[in-house]
Structure 1
């Protein structure tokens, strides 16, 4: 009888261990290079725009490109897509009224001629328009109060004209939606189920750091991680997350450093590699720029539909570090990387 009870106990334990630990609305899709039917080579046209020193971020608008270059006299440059020329420059570095700090990324406002730049250190969003006549920002949204839960986020995207989606760096929640007053009103997923072993939430968040963006509808959000090859697609309307794992299923060796009094992620530099450097949304598909080794600029772009199914694998003929996509005109606009004379390069889809 005791033997039978032990067997039943072991069976229950095995069942508990094999049950899916993830929430019902969290779906994992594993893929590898063979998941794409073919590799399509893309040949680019590199522009020769003398205004750039070290362009870092790029945003595609309807008729314009917005590029950030913190080493230039003005850190924001506006290009006309028809003429491929710089038509405006703006942004004043500093901490005074109308000035901006280090540009972490450029955010689409949902309009054809305006955009926001996000400054992580200042916890600040600054608005600009492509044709403004002043170099200073038009308006500013600040999240500078440590009593504000938004202060615990490390990346932001717009979920409407008056609300924001944040990827959280502290606390149990992964994505949190805030109203314009900085109050959280909806929570999407948590960090705990992302790892088998108990790990502090902020350490998991740091491990999955990367590009965080919204699409034009502000219903879909993407987190493309730079240290692990994981892409998380949040579909707000369906309250669903699709987690794309691949193509090499890599995680760096790391430890947890408590020397500062709080647990912090400490990645072993010898084992670290770059995974996803950037991501972009189109109307039909979303795109992810993949490295897979220690090279920061890279040349592989994966394409997925909004159900997470692998669609295409592009290989570009020049190494790039950031990009955006214009599906209407069938073009990829990118910034060259590892280039002594970095510039914009255009690929036809």
Structure 2
């Protein structure tokens, strides 16, 4: 019964609406041949003793902000974007004021010139750090309260609005103020009726991935990691598109009871989708995996492919990298892609496109 119900909701996913009655989601299929140009990129790689297991990277003015994937020491590192020299480490694990409870899962450039934000998923906390003062501690902390606790990401929408990917919810995304009051919702899983908590949990786990929002053009991007799907939503106009590709295959999965929960398990033969998304002012960039889990392990390559789309979802360029990469941030003005590598000696790579 659960399997048939999930197929039903996959169908509804591409027909869902936003909470304000915006237009239905348009589904677009693309292939490798859809890209008008293909480019080979050679990266300059930099390795840092202080950054042993980098996860996310963000361009902020003349700085690069890099987060660690767990471990001790500084949880966030600041590099000079022009020279790639190491500037300082920030973020101390602990339970005191300004300290990080668990570790950093995501980064957000924030809305202010001299600060950025780091999200601790396990600790359910959002930390603001300064790029200009000498303190290694967060200058401000926003904690998720009970109403907000089931949000699994945090990205600034405006001065008092934060977007979160939701679980156990009828909507994919929720909007909260800094005190944790829910202000709105985005994109119903099913436009006909509210889904129950279990179905919301099942769908949100199936579609888990990476979120990015650009407040300059109001584009919210969500890239799915477990299979090939990403979505672009214009929060100003309400227009939404779901992009599927570049390979065409059926999603093979099983749904099982686990105590009081139901969980979906994709086949090991499922081709993985994306390990990061970047929403620029003019283009959308995605790190495409395009391999099964076994192929990733055997090859030792997470991704060597970056897709570029325009903000309307039209393919612009495909980039093949000479290094395995995990996540990216882009300076469109300088035409530079900064990437966290996922090879034998992980570091930061610079690609000019």
TM over 0.5: yes
Partner of 1:314: 319
Residues 285-322 of structure 1 show CA distances to partners (whole Å, capped at 9, x for unaligned) of 01001011132621111111111111111111111111
Partner of 1:330: 335
Asked if the contact 2:157–2:215 (Cα under 8 Å) also holds between the matched residues in 1, the reply is no
Asked if the contact 1:229–1:251 (Cα under 8 Å) also holds between the matched residues in 2, the reply is no
Partner of 2:117: 116
Asked if the contact 1:228–1:249 (Cα under 8 Å) also holds between the matched residues in 2, the reply is no
- 1:343 paired to 2:347: yes
Q: Secondary structure at the match of 1:242?
A: strand
Tell me, in whole angstroms, the C-alpha distance in 1 between the residues paired with 2:209 and 2:40: 26
Structure 1 residue 178: deviation in Å?
Answer: 2.0
Tell me, in whole angstroms, the C-alpha distance in 2 between the residues paired with 1:247 and 1:183: 39
Alignment of 1:21-100 (within 5 A): 21-23=15-17, 24-69=23-68, 70-71=70-71, 73-100=73-100
Alignment of 1:1-349 (within 5 A): 21-23=15-17, 24-69=23-68, 70-71=70-71, 73-100=73-100, 101-143=102-144, 145-146=145-146, 148=147, 150-192=148-190, 200-217=199-216, 219-250=218-249, 252-268=251-267, 270-293=268-291, 294=293, 295=296, 297-339=302-344, 341-349=345-353
Structure 1 residue 236: deviation in Å?
Answer: 0.3
Asked if the contact 1:157–1:165 (Cα under 8 Å) also holds between the matched residues in 2, the reply is yes
Residues 318, 159 of structure 1: CA spacing in aligned structure 2 closer, same or farther, 3 A cutoff?
same
Asked if the contact 1:228–1:250 (Cα under 8 Å) also holds between the matched residues in 2, the reply is no
Tell me, in whole angstroms, the C-alpha distance in 2 between the residues paired with 1:51 and 1:21: 46
Structure 1 residue 22: deviation in Å?
Answer: 4.7
Asked if the contact 2:168–2:199 (Cα under 8 Å) also holds between the matched residues in 1, the reply is no
Asked if the contact 1:191–1:205 (Cα under 8 Å) also holds between the matched residues in 2, the reply is no
Structure 1 residue 88: deviation in Å?
Answer: 1.3
Tell me, in whole angstroms, the C-alpha distance in 2 between the residues paired with 1:97 and 1:218: 35
Structure 1 residue 323: deviation in Å?
Answer: 0.9
Tell me, in whole angstroms, the C-alpha distance in 1 between the residues paired with 2:38 and 2:99: 45
Residues 137, 32 of structure 1: CA spacing in aligned structure 2 closer, same or farther, 3 A cutoff?
same
Residues 25, 96 of structure 1: CA spacing in aligned structure 2 closer, same or farther, 3 A cutoff?
same
Tell me, in whole angstroms, the C-alpha distance in 2 between the residues paired with 1:113 and 1:252: 44
RMSD, aligned CA: 2.3
Structure 1 residue 54: deviation in Å?
Answer: 1.4
Structure 1 residue 218: deviation in Å?
Answer: 6.4
Asked if the contact 2:15–2:25 (Cα under 8 Å) also holds between the matched residues in 1, the reply is no
Asked if the contact 1:117–1:127 (Cα under 8 Å) also holds between the matched residues in 2, the reply is yes
Give 1 or 2 for the bigger CA radius of gyration: 1
Residues 311-347 of structure 1 show CA distances to partners (whole Å, capped at 9, x for unaligned) of 11111111111111011111000011122x2111100
Q: How many residues align?
A: 324
